[in-house]
Structure 1
Amino acid sequence: MEKLLEVKDLHVSFQTYSGEVQAVRGVSFDVKKGETVAIVGESGCGKSVTAQTIIKLIPMPPGEIKQGSILFNEKEIVTKSKKEMFEIRGKEIGMIFQDPMTSLNPTMKVGNQIREGLIKHQRMSPRAATERAIELLKLVEIPQPEKRINQYPHEFSGGMRQRAMIAIALACNPKLLIADEPTTALDVTIQAQILKLMKNIQKKMGTSIILITHDLGVVADLCDRIVVMYAGKVVEQGTKREIFKNPQHPYTKGLLRSIPRLDQEKETSLIPIFGTPPDLISPPDGCGFCERCDDAMNICKLEDAELHQVSETHQSRCWLLHPMAQGVES
């Protein structure tokens, strides 16, 4: 399958009064056409910064892309100017932000916010843009779209605001849709509806999706591949089946132990991951998960492991996979 997006050795830092925060440290992954890839990890692991860097939404300064490459449709994103990125954002890459209440403009009607991108990028007339906006509200299953198009965000419920955000992101038929924790502020029932909606839209439009989330349970039905991040690095990536059935990194195993499982016959208690992530102003020389890992060895403190190839599609950054670590017990 042809690659739509390819991120290679991406390093992103932020200059603060306390020092340089190394938010993203050598992240590499790719997204194929029509594929859904989830980037998972706890808060502060760098997943949202990675997503926003793809469309250059991080403020620079204090943010800075230190090194790396972002190829979208074989075109380099890192070197593009603000004017060039304006043509890509919304038109070729759409984004659903984490909190629709703060992402939507409270002073503009929802219809105007959808029409804005259509008029700028697609050069539509106001009448054609209005008709397309109504179609998009129907696509995201908002009832009475002809009426809702003239309402303000505060007149929408939380789930409807998220649907409106999806409509804005899809307005120009982007090739790639980035969804940054699109279900975090919603209750479980609405979460399921939004995820089902995104799945149906992908089938209809063939859009590639990057789903950013801290909840592995959310991605179980929606995603094809999963990228697990910790302390600014990719610690494991593979197909959905490989990550759920055969996790190799201790952090991935910890995430799976800390969520309820319906595929196990015996009822087991949830086990939290104790401790806190490392300070990325002065990240450790070794494995970032070392201090929280029950299987840590001396080498883990001194040097970080390379990504070991578990299978053709499965990689894990752990010293336990090194040939010299065979037979090591917890």
Structure 2
Amino acid sequence: MNNILEVKNLHVSFQTYAGEVKAVRGVNFNVREGETIAIVGESGCGKSVTAKSIMRLLPSPPAQYKQGSIQFQGNNLFDITEKEMQRIRGNKISMIFQDPMTSLNPTSKIGNQIIEAILKHNDMNKKAAVEKAIEMLELVGIPQPGHRVNQYPHEFSGGMRQRAMIAMALACNPRLLIADEPTTALDVTIQAQILELMKKIQQETGTSIILITHDLGVVAEMAERVVVMYAGQVIESGTVKEIFNNPQHPYTMGLLNSIPRLDMDKNQPLAPIIGTPPDLIDPPEGCPFYARCKYAMRICKGHNPEFEEVGSNQFTACWLHHPMAQKRASV
């Protein structure tokens, strides 16, 4: 299966009054055609910055793309002009943003916001674009789409606004869909409907999906592969089965141990990850998880481990897998 997207050694910084925030530090991953990958990690680990870098939506300044490349269908997105990027953005690559209420224009009708993208990227008249917008609203399960197309965002519920965002993102049949926390603040029933809708659309269109989320239950439901980020770096990646059944990095283990499971004793407390992520104005020289890791060794503090294969298509950056490291039953 061919790669539709390849992110290589991506470094993104922000210039602030306090100093340079190194938000993304050497991120590497790929997305195959028709595949869903999930990017997980705590808030502030660089997930959304990575996603917006793919769309080239970060304002510069303060953002700076320091190093690396983003190859989409064989072209480096950092080498093309903004005008060329506009032909890709919303057309070949679309994004569902985290909060539909602030992402949608409150002064413009839902239909007009979908029609705008259709007219920009397709050779059709206004009447055909309206019909396409109604068709998209019907596709995402909004009742009475012919009526709803003329309503404003405040007249939609939270779940319907999220569906409208999905309709807008899919209006031009993109090859890659980036979903940034697509089910945030939705109740579990609506969340399940949104996830089922995304899976259905992917099966019908073959769209590749990058899913950014904190919810590991959503990851298990939707994704084929998982990329775990911490402090602006990828610290583990692998298939969903490998990551959930055999995590190899202490941070990944901590994420999995901090969520409730059906097989847990009802009196068993959840195990939070003690501490906070490092300051990315002055990131640590060694492993970024060193200060919070119960397995930390002296070498972890001064030297960042290489990202190496530890299983069949499973990779991690951790000194625990060095031949000279003391063996532990849990790793």
3-state SS of the aligned residue for 1:309?
strand
Aligned to 1:227: 227
Aligned to 1:46: 46
Deviations 1:185-208 (A, max 9, x none): 212221111111111111111100
Q: Which range moved further: 264-273 or 87-96? A: 264-273
Aligned to 1:141: 141
1-side partners of 2:327 and 2:154: how far apart?
A: 59
Counterpart amino acid of 1:229? M
Q: Normalization by structure 1: what TM-score?
A: 0.98
Counterpart amino acid of 2:44? G
Aligned to 1:6: 6
3-state SS of the aligned residue for 2:222?
coil
Matched, 1:36 2:19: no
Counterpart amino acid of 1:89? R
Aligned to 1:249: 249
Deviations 1:152-204 (A, max 9, x none): 00000000000000000000000000001111121222111111111111111
1-side partners of 2:25 and 2:308: how far apart?
A: 17
CA contact (8 A) 1:308 1:321 kept: no
CA contact (8 A) 1:14 1:21 kept: yes
Counterpart amino acid of 2:13? S
Once the 2 structures are TM-superposed, how far is the Cα of residue 266 of structure 1 from its aligned partner? Answer: 4.7
CA contact (8 A) 1:94 1:177 kept: yes
Deviations 1:52-104 (A, max 9, x none): 00010011110000000100000010122111110000110010000000000
Aligned to 1:216: 216
Counterpart amino acid of 1:20? E
RMSD of the TM alignment (CA)? 1.2
3-state SS of the aligned residue for 2:191?
helix
Aligned to 1:206: 206
2-side partners of 1:300 and 1:265: how far apart?
A: 32
Q: Normalization by structure 2: what TM-score?
A: 0.97
Counterpart amino acid of 1:302? G
3-state SS of the aligned residue for 1:288?
coil
3-state SS of the aligned residue for 2:252?
helix
Aligned to 1:309: 309
Aligned residues: 329
Aligned to 2:160: 160
1-side partners of 2:286 and 2:26: how far apart?
A: 14
Aligned to 1:320: 320
Counterpart amino acid of 1:14? F
Counterpart amino acid of 1:172? C
2-side partners of 1:259 and 1:327: how far apart?
A: 26
Counterpart amino acid of 2:255? L
1-side partners of 2:60 and 2:181: how far apart?
A: 23
State the 4+ residue runs in structure 1 displaced beyond 6 angstroms. none
Deviations 1:224-256 (A, max 9, x none): 000000000000000000000000000000000
Aligned to 2:192: 192
Aligned to 1:82: 82
Percent identical among aligned pairs is: 67
Aligned to 2:24: 24
3-state SS of the aligned residue for 2:61?
coil
2-side partners of 1:189 and 1:329: how far apart?
A: 39
Aligned to 2:91: 91
2-side partners of 1:245 and 1:290: how far apart?
A: 23
CA contact (8 A) 1:8 1:28 kept: yes
2-side partners of 1:73 and 1:244: how far apart?
A: 30
3-state SS of the aligned residue for 1:50?
helix
Runs (5+) with no aligned partner, structure 1: none
CA contact (8 A) 1:217 1:259 kept: no
